[in-house]
């Protein structure tokens, strides 16, 4: 109860921004993603410049030179960048979740439909306050326990979008390859509208190594087959614990 009480002001702020975004055009709403990314980039610019300089110094060292201090400095700057990114994401959260929620509302109002793993679906989901709380919990690195039907897939989508803004790649772990593909196809058009890219890692027994979602240029979307390497270059990557684990070891 205490945790939820602390999050109520965040939920209220998200809903205020959502009301503001209601008046934006589609292009203006899409422009929020590069705006968010620029804020992250601007906040980490100095640290990234220092990191580049340190890596140039590292490359200039000979094989017999002591690299320990330089490697420690590089590790410290990389950690600083991640800390700054986290601070900016915390600040951006209400606006990012609001952008996601507004896209959901527009898709629902427009009765947008698309193929989802062989089944046509019409978008009907707009996050409730409890789902905004769940997504905030996930972003904070905690566990959000939700019963079947309470919208775990939608909740995870908001946290994925927010953290995908860093460009580091965010992984969504499911229990099997079918769910990985289905969930990516269900929410993929929301991410695509907002300018993020989606990859899906598959068990090779499913007949394809991986997929990336692409706009077909006619208002629809399709999954193009690719290899794991290409899928991992996307902003958001859906897959299973087994495949992520095998790829990590490989």
Round to whole Å and give the CA distance between 112 and 86. 33
Contact 181, 200 (CB under 8 A): yes
Q: What are phi and psi of 237, to 5 degrees?
A: -130, 120
| pLDDT reported for residue 48 | 96
Alpha carbons within 13 A on the beta-carbon side of 92: 29
pLDDT digits (tens, 9 = 90+) for 149-183: 889 999 999 999 999 999 999 999 999 999 999 99
3-class secondary structure, 89: helix
Q: Chain-centre distance of CA 237, in angstroms?
A: 8
Is this model's pTM higher than 0.85 or not?
yes
Average pLDDT per run of 10 along the chain, which is 250 residues long? 91 97 97 98 97 94 86 96 97 98 97 88 95 96 90 95 96 93 94 96 80 81 91 96 89
Residue 243: closest CA among 152, 171, 155, 170: 171
Contact 194, 172 (CB under 8 A): no
Pairing of strands 170-174, 210-215: unpaired
Round to whole Å and give the CA distance between 72 and 74. 5
């Amino acid at each position: 109860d205490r945790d939820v009480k602390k999050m109520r002001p965040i939920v209220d702020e998200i809903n205020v921004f959502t009301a503001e975004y209601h008046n934006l055009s589609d292009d203006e709403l899409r422009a929020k993603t590069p705006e968010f990314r620029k804020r992250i980039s601007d906040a980490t610019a100095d640290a990234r410049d220092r990191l580049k300089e340190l890596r140039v110094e590292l490359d200039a060292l000979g094989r017999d030179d002591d690299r320990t201090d330089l490697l420690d400095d590089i590790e410290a700057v990389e950690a600083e960048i991640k800390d700054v990114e986290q601070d900016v994401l915390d600040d951006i959260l209400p606006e990012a979740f609001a952008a996601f929620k507004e896209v959901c509302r527009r898709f629902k109002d427009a009765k947008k439909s698309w193929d989802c793993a062989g089944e046509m679906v019409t978008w009907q989901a707009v996050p409730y306050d409890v789902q905004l709380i769940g997504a905030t919990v996930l972003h904070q690195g905690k566990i959000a326990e939700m019963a079947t039907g309470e919208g775990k897939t939608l909740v995870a989508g908001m946290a994925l979008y927010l953290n995908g803004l860093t460009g580091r790649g965010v992984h969504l772990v499911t229990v099997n390859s079918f769910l990985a593909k289905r969930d990516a196809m269900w929410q993929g058009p929301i991410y695509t509208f907002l300018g993020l890219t989606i990859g899906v890692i598959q068990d090779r027994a499913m007949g394809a190594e991986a997929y990336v979602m692409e706009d077909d240029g006619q208002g629809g979307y399709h999954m193009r087959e690719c290899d794991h390497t290409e899928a991992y270059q996307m902003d958001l990557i859906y897959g299973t614990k087994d495949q992520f684990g095998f790829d990590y070891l490989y």
